[in-house]
Each structure stands twice: as structure tokens, then as C-alpha cells.
Structure 1
Amino acid sequence: MIDVGSSTTDRTAPDGGEPPAPLIAGISPVLEVPFTENGDVDLPGFDRLVRHVLSTGVTSVMFPGFASEFYKLTEDERTTLVDRLLTHTAARPGVSAIVAIQDHATRLAVERARRVVAAGADAINLLPPHFLAPSREALIEHIAAVCAAVAPVPVVLQYAPKETATFMSAADIAAVARRHPNLAYVKVESSPPGALIGELLRLEPPIQAVEGYAGLQLPDAIRRGAVGSQPGCSFAEVYIEIWKHFEAGRDDEGDRLHAMLLPFISYWMQDTELIIAAEKLISVRRGLFASAMCREPAHHLDKLEIEMIDRFLSEFAALLPPVEP
């Protein structure tokens, strides 16, 4: 079994004493954005969602990601939501806010990264540019520029080749990490992720890996040394329970619970907009916010998909109680 508490970043205690707890250790949910029926951002619903997710005992959250429909938000909406999240995490000692940077232009990515760190972000999640297939050299320089701009704040590099059609090797990532040690984690969303997780840990120095992609390969990722996972947030408690089983050495129980989850997430992850729609309806069913609205273009759940969600909630009812008002 891996020691999930042994992951470290380059952060050190200011008094030279014990370093702080790992930035990512276990489940680090990606927050969604609730909209009202007319398509406006539901700010009270977002606050309620954040409070609930933080109450599950997670030590970090990420925002905004694909699960947050970041590509459907205005600049003002995005800024407002990030600021509200940082207000919540600032009041929670031991909980880190990982704020995502997805700008295509290096200059804009650097400016946004500096701005959110100044606002209180504990780390940056960086999705490299992918529009019009930038070169390998351009990708490396983009990542390096953002790392340099926020050092020594940790950076999580999101590697999502299916969504972006952008490919990098462990050697490419290592080339940046040697220049910028605050490149502390890679969120591995290749399929399957295991080989790259192993390669990253064999680097000198090793780079910690976080599994994504809705936890489809979570047990294998844990066995290969992943220190965390960043799924969506509507049923974070299920992922937390799976992680706890593996952390405690109860591998069989972790495998069993993941096997129960797998038919659902394997269907939903056929399409990113599908799992966004499914997670939002799950959140509504649980009482986290009022509307499952997704801004267009979006996936519209059909009757059988809605029945699947209700079956999911029934099967996992013990771990997913309705949220009290």
C-alpha cells in the first residue's frame, strides 16, 4: 500500500519546523456551478454546494474545471465565483483552494495566475493551451512561464489528452520541473493513467500524480502511487469512502465499492457534457441546489439516463444522504 500522507511539495514551514500537510492527499473534488432555470449563476446555490463539499472532510477543492463548465462563464462570473470560494476556504484551516488557469495565451495565463494567487489561492491548476495545436516547445514555455510567475506556490499540471488532443511525455514535464520545482503535481487524465503515473514517480526528482477522469481507474492509480484524485463533487462521499478503504489497507473493500460505481461513471464519462448533466441532477436530487440547468450547448438527459441516476442514488443511499437545509 502507498503512504498517502507522504506526498510533499516544495513548501516549507516559515519557522523551519515541520512542513505543512500535503496540498493534495486523497479526494480533491472539482466544484460545479449551479445555474437558475433562466441560466443565471445561482450564487446562493454555489455557496451551499461549497459548504457541503468542505463539510465532507476534504483537504482541498479545485475550481473551475471542466466539471464547472468553465468555458461557459463570463469573466465577471468566474471572478465572482473564485472570490466566493476563497472566502469559504480562508475560513477553513487545513483546506486548500486550487484555482484553475485555462487561458490559451501565455500572457493571459500568467496574469490570471498572479491575480488568483494574490486573492488567496493556495495552488494553481494549469491546463496547457491546446487551440490550433501549439508546438511541444510552446507548451513547455507556457507551463514554465506560469510556474515562474507564481513560484513558490504549487502548480498542478492538468494532462487531459482526450479533451485537448495535446500530448506530452514524462520527459517533457520533467524538463519544466527541473527548472521550476513548484511544478509539484500532474493531474493524469490519459487513458489508462497508470503508465504515466509510474513514469512520473520514477523521475529524478519524482513528480506526484493525481488521478482524474471521474475516478474510472482509481484503484489502479492508487496502487501505482497516485496521491489523490480529482473527480466531480456531487457524490464526493463515494470517492472518499473508496480512498479510505485503500488508505486503511482494505483493498478488497475499495475494489468492491469501486466496482459498484464503475457501471455508472463508465457510462457518464462517454461524454464530458453527459457527466456534467448527470452530476448536476444528482446534486439537485440531494438538495444541494435547485436547478440542474446546464448552459447550452449541453447534454439533455433522456428518460433512461434519469432513471439511471435515480438507481445510482438508491444504490449509494447510505453514503449520499439528502443535504439538510
Structure 2
Amino acid sequence: MTPGRIGGVAPVLEVPFTIAGEVDEAGFARVVDHVLGTGVTAVMFPGFASEFHKLDDAERDRLTGILLERTAGREAAAIVSVPDHATAIAVRRARAAVGAGADAINLLPPHFLSPPGAQVLAHVEAVLDAVPSTPVVLQYAPAQTGTVLSPRSIRDLAGRHPNLRFVKVEAVPPGPVITALGDGDPPIPCLVGYAGVQLPDALRRGTAGVQPGCSFVELYVRIWDLWSAGDTDAALALHTRMLPYLASWMQDVELVIQAEKTISQRRGLIDHDVCRAPYRPLDAYESALVERFLDEFGDLLPPVTR
């Protein structure tokens, strides 16, 4: 497992549901296969875009199994996320994921009811200790969780735990955190999240990758490839075209989840754009924005063939 397999474009996988709100396991397998075919370097499950907070334990386990089956022997890395609040459960889940074949662990620090900072750090260290030979991506999402970790505290963690290999930065703005971690001792490479709204700044600062949703991941792969090839003007131009849509959808986490699912359904990737309740339905203006997006980028987002 090399760090380069986690960098680049490493999207979070969505979970399709039936009209009745049941998990569509065949649909999830189709999502995995489609995303793996777009040129990504890794995929992650379950994240906010996966509606992990609306899945029960059995569903998470089955979907993780499908992911690991579909990624076995592939170049793209399978990153299994551990967002569990209880330290003991997070430790068990991390070990189980690694035992089942996960290439890396994504660790979301506990945030429910605002636990004390010392307890948050202890939780992170316990999971790092539980999988010492496995790369771990620390998800730093203060806007979504309220959990604040300083770059120095993260570097201290990495100094004690060499398997803390990446930080997914979803701070607003992410750039200063990316620079502080990348220029520190030890330097820690970062993935920029938050739908890549600030991707150009992150690229200029040397981000190791971007972790968006998966419904139009081809656009992020295109930006990454253009930038990597030295065509920075074309990369920035494509992001500039995307930015009004991203800025609108990223006003609310449930809004961007619904918008992405509707895009996936319209492209033919999933059968239904159902989100589990409680969810944030699109109004008429937001639905029209999705249609404009698909019209504008139709040449780069062809229908998904089955």
C-alpha cells in the first residue's frame, strides 16, 4: 500500500435506495464499478455522501463487503471509513475493516455532544494504535462536526503514529491547514474535501488529492489530469465553470447529497434518487439547476451504460 494510491481523486461513494427506502445492494455494486472505471485512485465508504448516519450496522457491513469484493485486485485503493462515536466500537470496526481487506482507514473524530478535546485525541490514538500497519486518513471537518484540531496537534499525532498518513481537510478555508500540515515536521499530505470548492487553492498549495462525491467524479478526474499535465489554465477554467453549482449545493450537506443523487439518477447510474428521511428535497429552482448542470457538462458526463 503506497501513499500515492490514496492521493489523486478519491471520491466518497453514494448509497442507492429503492423507492421504499431499502438499500439497493446491486445498485451499490454498480456505483462502485462505475466509479472505479473513471480513473480514480481510491474510493471511500461510508462518508457523509453515503448517508452513513442513516445506515444500520448490518447495512454498513454488507455494503463494505460489496466494496471490498469489487476493489480486490484493483489498482484503486479501498478506504473504509470509521465514523463511529464510541471509541471501543471505532476500534472494533477499524480492525474488522482491515481484516476484511481495506487498504486504508478514514477516521472521523467523535463529535456528538461535543466531547472534551482530550477525549477526542484519545479516541483518534486508540484507532491509530488498533491498526498500526494500515494507512489512516484523519478526516478534519470542523464545519460539519464542530471538532477543532490544530495543525500542531495533528502533527504531534503523526509523530507518535506513523500510520497517520493523510488528513482530509474540510476546514473553511482549507488552504492554510493544508500548508501548515504539508510544511510541518513531519509533513503530512492532505486531501481536500468539501466538494472541492477550494480545489484551485489546494492544488497551488500541493494538495495530494481531492475527495468529492461520486455522481460527476469524471469532472474532478479531468481537472486533476489537466493540472498534473501542466495545463493549469484548462484545469482552472473547468473548475470555474463548476463553481457556481458547487457553491449553491454546498450551502447544506443534505442539499448536496440530494443534488448528487439526482444527477446520478438522471445519468442512469442509480434507479432512484431517494434519500432516507429526514432529507432535504430539491425545490423547483434547485431541480432546474441540476438540469442546467447536466446540459452544460453533458459532453464530459455521458449516460451510464449497464
Q: TM > 0.5 between the two?
A: yes
How far, CA to CA, are the matches of 1:218 and 1:202 in structure 2?
18
Secondary structure, in 3 states, of the residue corresponding to 1:186?
A: strand
How far, CA to CA, are the matches of 2:262 and 2:226 in structure 1?
27
Equivalent residues in 2 for 1:149-160, closer than 5 Å: 149-160=130-141
Structure 2: gaps (5+ residues): none
How far, CA to CA, are the matches of 1:192 and 1:46 in structure 2?
32
**1:21 Cα deviation (Å)?**
6.1
Say whether 1:282 aligns with 2:263. Answer: yes
How far, CA to CA, are the matches of 2:112 and 2:3 in structure 1?
36
How far, CA to CA, are the matches of 2:13 and 2:113 in structure 1?
28
**1:91 Cα deviation (Å)?**
3.8
Say whether 1:296 aligns with 2:277. Answer: yes
How far, CA to CA, are the matches of 1:244 and 1:192 in structure 2?
24
Tell me the equivalent position of 2:250. Answer: 269
CA deviations 1:160-200 (Å, max 9, x no partner) are 00110110101111111111010000000001100000000
Tell me the equivalent position of 1:78. Answer: 60
Tell me the equivalent position of 1:184. Answer: 165
How far, CA to CA, are the matches of 2:24 and 2:114 in structure 1?
35
Equivalent residues in 2 for 1:106-255, closer than 5 Å: 106-255=87-236
CA deviations 1:42-82 (Å, max 9, x no partner) are 11111111110001111210000000000000100000000
Tell me the equivalent position of 1:306. Answer: 287
**1:138 Cα deviation (Å)?**
1.3
**1:136 Cα deviation (Å)?**
1.8
Q: Provide the TM-score with structure 1 as the length reference.
A: 0.93
How far, CA to CA, are the matches of 1:312 and 1:244 in structure 2?
21
Secondary structure, in 3 states, of the residue corresponding to 2:4?
A: coil
Secondary structure, in 3 states, of the residue corresponding to 2:93?
A: helix
17, 20, 26: which one aligns with 1:35: 17
How far, CA to CA, are the matches of 2:159 and 2:117 in structure 1?
17
CA deviations 1:114-133 (Å, max 9, x no partner) are 00100000000000001121
Equivalent residues in 2 for 1:92-103, closer than 5 Å: 92=74, 94-103=75-84
How far, CA to CA, are the matches of 1:142 and 1:74 in structure 2?
22
How far, CA to CA, are the matches of 2:128 and 2:243 in structure 1?
35
Tell me the equivalent position of 1:60. Answer: 42
Secondary structure, in 3 states, of the residue corresponding to 1:324?
A: coil
Q: Number of residue pairs matched?
A: 306
Secondary structure, in 3 states, of the residue corresponding to 2:206?
A: coil
Tell me the equivalent position of 1:3. Answer: none
For the structure 1 residues 209 and 21, does the alpha-carbon distance in structure 2 shift closer, same or farther, using more than 3 Å as the test?
Answer: closer
Secondary structure, in 3 states, of the residue corresponding to 2:5?
A: coil
Aligned partners of 2:135 and 2:165 also within 8 Å: yes
CA deviations 1:253-295 (Å, max 9, x no partner) are 1111000000001000000000000000000001001100100
Query: Residue type matched to 1:72 in 2?
Result: K
**1:225 Cα deviation (Å)?**
1.3
**1:203 Cα deviation (Å)?**
1.3
Aligned partners of 2:7 and 2:191 also within 8 Å: no
Tell me the equivalent position of 1:46. Answer: 28
Query: Residue type matched to 2:6 in 1?
Result: I
Aligned partners of 2:10 and 2:212 also within 8 Å: yes
User: Identical aligned pairs, as a percentage?
Assistant: 55
How far, CA to CA, are the matches of 2:121 and 2:206 in structure 1?
25
**1:303 Cα deviation (Å)?**
1.3
How far, CA to CA, are the matches of 1:216 and 1:285 in structure 2?
23
Secondary structure, in 3 states, of the residue corresponding to 2:213?
A: coil
4+ runs of 1 displaced by more than 3 Å? none
How far, CA to CA, are the matches of 1:226 and 1:137 in structure 2?
28
Secondary structure, in 3 states, of the residue corresponding to 1:22?
A: helix
Query: Residue type matched to 1:117 in 2?
Result: V
**1:25 Cα deviation (Å)?**
2.4
CA deviations 1:226-260 (Å, max 9, x no partner) are 11000000000001111111111111111110000
Query: Residue type matched to 2:193 in 1?
Result: G
How far, CA to CA, are the matches of 1:257 and 1:23 in structure 2?
24
